[in-house]
Structure 1
Amino acid sequence: MALAKRFPIAHAMVFPNGAFLRGYVEPVADFNGEKRADGSRPQQRDKETGLPLWQCTVIDADDDANRKDIGVSVKFAAEVQPVPPKNTSPLPWTPVEFTGLTALPWIDDSGPRPRLSWSFRASGMVAPGQDRTDAKPPTAKAAA
């Protein structure tokens, strides 16, 4: 089969009624890594590119989304922390659109019944309607 595990998907297909950044973009902790001397965890790195992983929580504005799908996590593989667009809306959350969005389906069996869930990655985020041509995908780590 020619379909990769993670596949590209348009922002509008995932968030047809918009998406809102809730909180900040934060490093993803590596719980498999050894704790540092101060007890903190190192930052997780992308297995394909070797770049540090960052994540943010997004509110899905779709009224038909069920309660488990309203808060969505989106991750970024980037050398530096992604910067969200400035919030010019009257809302406490920043409206965003994701560039280079990919999806990976997985089975969430933590509840009483297994269900299909999605893991999302993006190469960047912009204000809705902003020109997305300047968003750059992550670069692969050079082999040493």
Structure 2
Amino acid sequence: MAVPMRIPVSFGDVFPHGAFVLGVEADRDFDAVKAGHPDPQVRDKETGARVWVVRVLDAAPDLRVGQAEVKVKIAVEHQPVPPDLLPGTPFRPAEFDGLTITAYVDQSRKTPRVGYSLRASGMRAPGGARPAKAA
């Protein structure tokens, strides 16, 4: 049995109380930036598409300080556009399609711990139409 590096998960399992987009930015390769590379944006190892980082506020009410903001990476050629604001608020609710989780060991701390990263194939407004599947 082969276990994939990127394990598929449902949006509701990761964000049972919903999620709000705080911003979208290019994922930068810091070594390429230091070397003065003209295009230092990270590329997806599997598809070669540009990688974008979506900063997300997890709406779970029981999170501790520092746990509410997470990052979801999306590999697409053009910058993803967040859903519209909720009228009268600064919040942009979103759902992620094709969500995967990858576990890793964070050895940058005094005591190593297991961390995880999130990736998605797309982002949309909650309850919105899902993107069409490629034929």
TM-score by length of 2: 0.86
**Number of the residue aligned with 1:83:** 81
Map 1:1-144; keep pairs closer than 5 Å.
1-22=1-22, 24-33=23-32, 34-36=35-37, 42-132=40-130, 134=131
Deviations 1:102-142 (A, max 9, x none): 1101122333433222101111111111122x2558xxxxx
What is the deviation of 1:32? 2.7
Identity %: 45
State the distance in 2 between where 1:111 and 1:135 align: 42
State the distance in 1 between where 2:43 and 2:124 align: 23
State the distance in 2 between where 1:54 and 1:67 align: 25
State the distance in 1 between where 2:40 and 2:15 align: 31
Q: 1:9, 1:102 within 8 Å by CA — same for their partners in 2?
A: yes
Residues 21 and 30 (structure 1 numbering): CA distance in 2 closer, same or farther, change over 3 Å? same
TM-score by length of 1: 0.81
What is the deviation of 1:63? 1.9
State the distance in 1 between where 2:14 and 2:5 align: 17
Q: Give the count of matched residue pairs.
A: 132
In structure 1, stretches of 5+ residues that fail to align are 138-144
Q: 1:20, 1:95 within 8 Å by CA — same for their partners in 2?
A: yes
Q: 1:124, 1:135 within 8 Å by CA — same for their partners in 2?
A: no
Residues 16 and 65 (structure 1 numbering): CA distance in 2 closer, same or farther, change over 3 Å? same
**Number of the residue aligned with 1:141:** none
Give me the CA root mean square deviation. Answer: 1.9
What is the deviation of 1:83? 1.1
State the distance in 1 between where 2:14 and 2:25 align: 22
Paired residue secondary structure (1:105): strand
State the distance in 1 between where 2:101 and 2:74 align: 12
What is the deviation of 1:80? 0.8
What is the deviation of 1:87? 1.3
Q: 1:89, 1:95 within 8 Å by CA — same for their partners in 2?
A: no
